[in-house]
Amino acid sequence: MKETELIPHLFRTEYRKIVSVLCNLFGIEHIEIAEDIVSDSFLLATELWGLKGLPENPTAWLYTVSKNKTKDYLKRNALFAQKIAKEIRQTTAVLEEMEIDLSTKNINDSQLAMMFAVCHPCISAEAQIGLSLNLLCGFGAEEIADAFLTNKEVIYKRLNRAKEKLRAEKIKIEQPTLPEIDKRLETVLTTLYLLFNEGYYSTSQNTVLRKDLCIEAMRLNLMLIENERTNTAPANALLSLMCFHSSRFEARTDINGAVILYEDQDSNLWNNELISKGEFYLNCASKGDHLSKYHLEAVIAYWHTKKGDTAEKWESILQLYNKLLQMEYSPVAALNRTYALSKANGKQEAIVEAEKLNLSGDHLYHSLLGNLYSNVDNEKALEHYQISLSLARSNADKATIINNIDRLAVLNKSQQH
C-alpha cells in the first residue's frame, strides 16, 4: 500500500478502535478528548511519516503514540486529571503505570460497549447511524454527509447534538449485561439494518462509499456474532440478510448508477461466496424458536438468490411477505408483497390489491403499477410511469423510470406489428 493510501486506510481501521478504548476508559462525557487525542496522533503520523519514512509497524506506532499522548494529557491537565482520575479511580501517581490496553480483546470489548452506548434509545435513529459511522466506523463528517445526501454542517450539528445528549443522559460505556442486551440488542440491530440499507439503497452516486457502508454494517454485525452474549438468532438472521443482499451488489446498478430491476439482472454477476455465507448464517439463525422480521427478510432474500421464476419461489416469497406485513407494516414491504402477488396469483389480482394500497404519493407505487399494467393496459402503464417520473427525486431513480418507459414503447411497437 502506498504511503498516501496508508494513512486514510489506517484512519478507517484504527481510529475507531483507539477512540473506543479511550472512551471506555474515560466515559462518554469525554468523547471529544478521546477523539482529539487520536486525531492528534494521526496528525503527527502525517507529518513525521512524510519526513522520516514509515515506521516498521505503523499500527503499533499509532497505538504507542496515542497511549503516550493520553498519559501526557492526563498528567498535564490538572483539572482533567482531577475530574477523570476520580472517575477512573486513578491518582496522578498511578497514572505513570496506567495501562491503556490496546489488545485485540479489549478493542473488541470496547467497540461492543460503544455500539450499545451509541444505540441508546435517547437519541434518534438518524443520529444513532451517524454516530455509529463516526465513532465505530471511522467515517468523517464529510463522508457521512455524502451518504445522507446532505451537507457537512448538518452532520456536524447532528453528531454534536447526539454526543451532548449521551453526555446529558449520563450514558455509560460499559460491557452490556445480559438484561441490557435483551433490551437494547433490538435497537442495535435496527441501527445496523438502517446503516446497511443506507448503503444498499442510497441514491448517492458514490458507489465506493455505498459499498463501504454495507461492509461496515456487516463488520459490526459480525462483531455481535463473535461475542457469545450477543450471538443471537436475530443477529445471525440480519447478517444472513445482508450477505444475500450484497451478493447482488455488482448486478443491481448499471454504469450510470441506475437501478437494474431484479428480473433484468445478469445473475452471473451475483456473488456465490456471499450467497453461501448467507446460507450459513441463516442456518445459525434457525437455532432457537425466535422468529424475527430479519428471519423473514433473510428467507425472502434467500429465495431471490434462486435464479429464474418458479411457482414455488414466488408462492414462498408471497407468503413470507404476508407474514412480514402482519408482523410489521412498511410501504416497501407492501409494494414488494404486491409484486410477489402478481407473480404468484396473476396480474389482475395484484392490480386490484395495488389500487387499495393508498401510497399514491410514492414514486415506487406508480412504478409498480406501471409494471403491473404493462401488457395488460399499456396506456395506463405509461400514465403511471409518468407520474412516477414526476415524483422521483434522485437522478438514479429517474434514469430507472425512463428505462421502463423506453421499454414500454418497444413493447407497444412490437404489439402493433
Partner 1 sequence: MKEFLLIFRREIASNEPQPSPEQMQASMKLWQDWLGGIAARNKLVSNGNRLYSKGKVVRPGNVVTDGPYVETKEAVGGYSILRAESLEEATEISKGCPIFSLMNGNVEVREIVPM
Residues binding partner 1 (CB under 8 A): 315, 318-319, 321-323, 325-326, 329, 333-334, 337-338, 341, 345, 353, 356-358
- Nine-digit cell at 309? 421464476
Residue 128 Cβ, how far from partner 1 at the closest point, in Å?
25
Nearer to partner 1 (CB atom), residue 218 or residue 333: 333
Residue 363 Cβ, how far from partner 1 at the closest point, in Å?
18
Distances (CA, A) of 89 to 25, 34, 132, 177, 293: 11, 18, 28, 22, 44
Nearer to partner 1 (CB atom), residue 2 or residue 356: 356
DSSP string, 258-276: PBPPGGGS-GGGS-HHHHH
Residue 355 Cβ, how far from partner 1 at the closest point, in Å?
11
Residue 371 Cβ, how far from partner 1 at the closest point, in Å?
16
- Given the C-alpha cell 413470507, which residue does it identify? 320
23: CB partners within 8 A, 6+ apart:
30, 31, 34, 110, 114, 135, 173
Nearer to partner 1 (CB atom), residue 102 or residue 335: 335
Nearer to partner 1 (CB atom), residue 33 or residue 324: 324
Residue 314 Cβ, how far from partner 1 at the closest point, in Å?
12
Residue 372 Cβ, how far from partner 1 at the closest point, in Å?
14
Rounded to whole angstroms, how far apart are CA atoms 173 and 119? 11
Torsions phi, psi of 232, nearest 5? -95, 170
Nearer to partner 1 (CB atom), residue 206 or residue 322: 322
- Work out whether the CA dihedral 369, 375, 377, 382 comes out positive or negative: positive
Nearer to partner 1 (CB atom), residue 99 or residue 328: 328
- Given the C-alpha cell 478507517, which residue does it identify? 12
Rounded to whole angstroms, how far apart are CA atoms 56 and 184? 41
Q: How many other CB atoms sit within 10 Å of the CB of residue 352?
A: 11
